[in-house]
Amino acid sequence: MLVAVRVAPASAPDVLPRAHRMVKPADFTATYRRGATVATQRIVLHVQADKSLKQPALVGFVVPKKAIPKATGRNLVKRRLRHAMQAELPQLPDGIRVVVRAQAAALDASYQTLVADLHHKLPLGIKRAEAKAERQKPLEQNPGLKEEAQ
């Protein structure tokens, strides 16, 4: 009789590392409100850059029930997006937060299409987020400028 040995690694190779997972609702809200937005027909990327944060890049995923009503479809899209984002993680600088929001068209898109969308739009989102952070920085450092701007 053959007995198989089960080995359970601490983290499966196709799982987004815990250090890079965005889980706090406040992180999602801050990224939505203060971040730059880049979109395709299938996904919307909300990217926030904060160089003062010394933490690794955080990534969160949102697949709305309104866009994809069935749970199996939402889970499929989330799995594909998580796996596609793993290849992009090494490119993300520290202090970057990314929320990937799926659109209804993401369900019918192939995995390769989602990978291509992320690969092409993520650098643009980072560039826009860093530019937006630079524009907001002087207002935060000098409260007098904030009052004059209003």
Query: Considering the domain boundaries, does residue 145 fall inside one?
Result: no
Query: Considering the domain boundaries, does residue 1 fall inside one?
Result: no
Distance spanning both ends of the chain, measured CA to CA: 78
CATH, residue 96? 3.30.230.10
Q: Give the residue carrying structure tokens 């997006």.
A: 81
Query: Considering the domain boundaries, does residue 149 fall inside one?
Result: no
The domain of 86 spans 18-135
Query: Considering the domain boundaries, does residue 4 fall inside one?
Result: no
Q: Is 105 helix (H, G, I), strand (E, B) or coil?
A: helix
Query: Considering the domain boundaries, does residue 73 fall inside one?
Result: yes
Contacts of 122 (CB under 8 A, 6+ apart): 38, 45, 47, 88, 91, 92, 98
- pLDDT of 143 strictly over 60: no
Record the pTM: 0.81
**Per-residue model confidence (pLDDT) at position 136:** 80
Query: Considering the domain boundaries, does residue 126 fall inside one?
Result: yes
The number of folded domains in the chain is 1
Residues 42-71 have pLDDT tens digits of 999 999 998 787 889 999 999 999 999 999
Query: Considering the domain boundaries, does residue 48 fall inside one?
Result: yes
> Looking at per-residue confidence, does 40 or 149 come out higher?
40
Query: Considering the domain boundaries, does residue 6 fall inside one?
Result: no
